[in-house]
């Protein structure tokens, strides 16, 4: 499998972050959390993080900090970085959604088969498929869109993402509960679902690596010194 350039950058960023001031490390983490794949592609995000770490290291040598350089407008600083980036990659968003769907389906149906039901098949309402797909979509939207909106906020506003996420899940679960009819069931063959999910996961994982390297192609090679 082709080596994922994002992983190399991420590993190097983690090593470099160890020597940062605690407040600088926290601010960089908050900035990066607000840069979901819906705003910045993952390759650019890691390059941005590396630049921020380098900036923080230089400021540390001057007995200053990232907080002093940025000021109180962390949100404005973050938005400026996002606006100057290459933006999101639609292909990456789709691949990550498929990756999350296949991964969760594999984990959930494996757990149901070997823990809850003790077998690879059982009777259930087909609405279970819609429930699991909906749950994954809620997680995907929460992580990629809702949480980044509030991560740079202060006080109670920062907690709003958790409130919205819980509300979405409760409303969705309530709708599924009232639509569920235990008298109408079909045979759920977990063996096929587990196998197909695993195959899809591996294929999408490979395609995601190819896409990341495509995003990096033609740009400055930021990782020559990491290989």
| pLDDT tens per residue across span 74-86 | 888 888 888 888 8
Q: How many CA atoms lie within 13 A of 225 on its CB side?
A: 4
| 163 & 103 share domain | yes
Residue 213 lies in a domain: no
| 13 & 105 share domain | no
101: its two tokens: 């769907």
| Total number of domains in the chain | 2
| 104 & 151 share domain | yes
148: its two tokens: 């980044």
| 66 & 137 share domain | no
Q: How many CA atoms lie within 13 A of 96 on its CB side?
A: 18
67: its two tokens: 């907080």
Closest to 34 in 3D by CA, of 108, 179, 168, 145: 145
State the residue range of the domain holding 184. Answer: 90-208
Sign of the dihedral defined by the CA atoms of residues 52, 7, 4, 104, in that order? negative
Residue 152 lies in a domain: yes
pLDDT in tens, 193-202: 999 999 999 9
| 198 & 129 share domain | yes
> What letter would DSSP give residue 63?
T
Residue 214 lies in a domain: no
| 95 & 199 share domain | yes
Sign of the dihedral defined by the CA atoms of residues 212, 218, 219, 223, in that order? positive
d(CA 82, CA 39): 7
| 53 & 138 share domain | no
| 116 & 48 share domain | no
Residue 122 lies in a domain: yes
Backbone angles phi, psi at 219, to 5 degrees: -100, 170
pTM beyond cutoff 0.85: no
138: its two tokens: 């809620």
Distance of CA 144 to the CA centre of its chain: 6
pLDDT in tens, 119-128: 999 999 999 9
| 74 & 112 share domain | no
Q: Are 101 and 136 in contact (CB under 8 A)?
A: yes
Which residue(s) pair with 187 in the sheet? 123
Q: Are 121 and 190 in contact (CB under 8 A)?
A: yes
| 26 & 119 share domain | no
Residue 199 lies in a domain: yes
Residue 30 lies in a domain: yes
pLDDT in tens, 209-226: 899 888 887 665 443 443
| 71 & 147 share domain | no
Residue 144 lies in a domain: yes
| 101 & 178 share domain | yes
């Amino acid at each position: 499998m082709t080596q994922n350039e994002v992983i190399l950058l991420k590993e190097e960023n983690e090593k470099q972050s160890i020597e940062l001031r605690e407040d600088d490390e926290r601010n960089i983490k908050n900035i990066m959390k607000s840069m979901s794949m819906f705003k910045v592609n993952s390759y650019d995000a890691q390059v941005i993080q590396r630049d921020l770490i380098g900036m923080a290291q230089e400021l540390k040598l001057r007995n200053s900090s990232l907080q002093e350089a940025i000021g109180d407008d962390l949100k404005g600083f973050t938005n400026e970085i996002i606006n100057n980036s290459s933006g999101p990659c639609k292909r990456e968003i789709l691949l990550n959604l498929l990756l999350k769907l296949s991964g969760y389906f594999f984990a959930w149906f494996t757990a149901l088969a070997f823990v809850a039901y003790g077998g690879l098949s059982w009777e259930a309402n087909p609405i279970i498929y819609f429930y699991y797909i909906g749950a994954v979509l809620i997680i995907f939207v929460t992580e990629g869109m809702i949480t980044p909106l509030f991560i740079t906020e202060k006080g109670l506003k920062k907690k709003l993402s958790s409130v919205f996420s819980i509300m979405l899940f409760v409303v969705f679960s309530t709708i599924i509960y009232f639509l569920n009819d235990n008298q109408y069931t079909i045979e759920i063959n977990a063996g096929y679902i587990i196998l197909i999910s695993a195959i899809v996961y591996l294929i999408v994982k490979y395609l995601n690596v190819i896409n990341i390297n495509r995003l990096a192609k033609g740009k400055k090679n930021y990782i020559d010194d990491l290989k």
